[in-house]
Amino acid sequence: MPSGCRCLHLMCLLCVLGAPARHAVADDCSSHCDLAHGCCDPDGSCRCDPGWEGPHCERCVRMPGCQHGSCHQPWQCICHGGWAGKFCDKDEHICTTQSPCRNGGQCVYDGGGEYHCVCLPGFHGRDCERKTGPCEQAGSPCQNGGQCQDDQGFALNFTCRCLAGFVGAYCEVNVDDCLMRPCANGATCLDGINRFFCLCPEGFAGRFCTINLDDCASRPCQRGARCRDRVHDFDCLCPSGYGGKTCELVLPDPDPATVADMPLGPTSALVVPATGPAPHSAGAGLLRISVKEVVRRQEARLGESSLVAVVVFGALTATLVLSTVLLTLRAWRRGICPPGPCCSSAPHYAPARQDQECQVSMLPAGLPLPPDLPPEPRKTTAL
């Protein structure tokens, strides 16, 4: 029994023992609360048991989903007249009240709210709503899971509604998902049904082969060398005195006393000194070879052809300048006025010594002087 019901018995006991009048609320609750389906709370309200409802816990709760029914016990669905089914949602008079059969079909009631339709030739379906159209006449022509549509048989032709990844009138063509070349870094693309797969080359990973695997993750470099990742490879930046792929080799120290230069070219030299016994000596010895590269700086100099070109160009320039000066002096001595509007030569019958006036202006010939600019002073040149 719920705790609320136990408190009711306690209140009744206090009432018998002469408790104050405020406990009479429990007696009022018990007078209207259906104690068979609930109990009284200390505040005087009626608390219903599961499956019961109402202010006095007098109504049972129907089955969830029950539409046209009632209950005598919790979770029941007792159908009203004219209704049937588990949830009382099926009309027993459906054939007479609703006439569900279409296209001239005849409704037959089967009991329990169920019915079936007797369709006319050329129609089918639960309610004779479909017509034997192009889809059925073609015998389900759509391929690869495509759905045939013909407006329930009333269309003149059918159409196929294809699944993703297929195209064509009958959904017969698988779309090549590798046409867009989604795989990177030379990966091989494998086409699937509405999907693709990338076969990544060594050194790459990911759906599109865009992730370069870190070849330095395993720390291959020794001697504390720094690792530099490459494509499916790595480089080790070895400290001084070490070499090899992973800096595993200890390089010998060079001996300055045994280094001799052998020029190999303008920028390098090779030194190959040998120490130890002769190759044909009886005792065992150690042959030590040192390599030294000497970088020499070659000064920039003019070649012979460039020097000749410079001399010839200078001579031509000097000759041209000298010729211009000589021609100008010769013309000046003969009194020839240079062509132009600023100077007019004297007539041939004029005296030997005659003054000529020449107005010198910085403006081009034929242009008048500005009004606000005073005329330039005239110069007289004695010829």
Q: What is the pLDDT of residues 186-215, one digit of tens each?
A: 999 999 988 999 999 999 999 999 999 999
Q: What is the predicted pLDDT for the residue at 319? A: 93
Question: 105: phi > 0 → left, psi -120 to 50 → alpha, else beta; which?
Answer: beta
Closest among 260, 230, 226, 264 to 246, alpha carbons compared? 226
Radius of gyration of the chain (CA): 58
Give the model confidence (pLDDT) of 320-377 as tens digits: 999 999 988 888 888 655 555 545 544 444 444 444 444 444 444 444 545 554 555 5
Give the domains, in start order, of the chain with CATH numbers: 30-92 (2.10.25.10), 93-132 (2.10.25.10), 139-175 (2.10.25.10), 177-213 (2.10.25.10), 217-253 (2.10.25.10)
**For 19, left (φ over 0), alpha (ψ -120 to 50), or beta?**
beta
Percent of the chain with pLDDT over 90: 38
Question: pLDDT tens across 210-250, in order?
Answer: 999 999 999 999 999 999 999 889 999 999 999 999 999 99
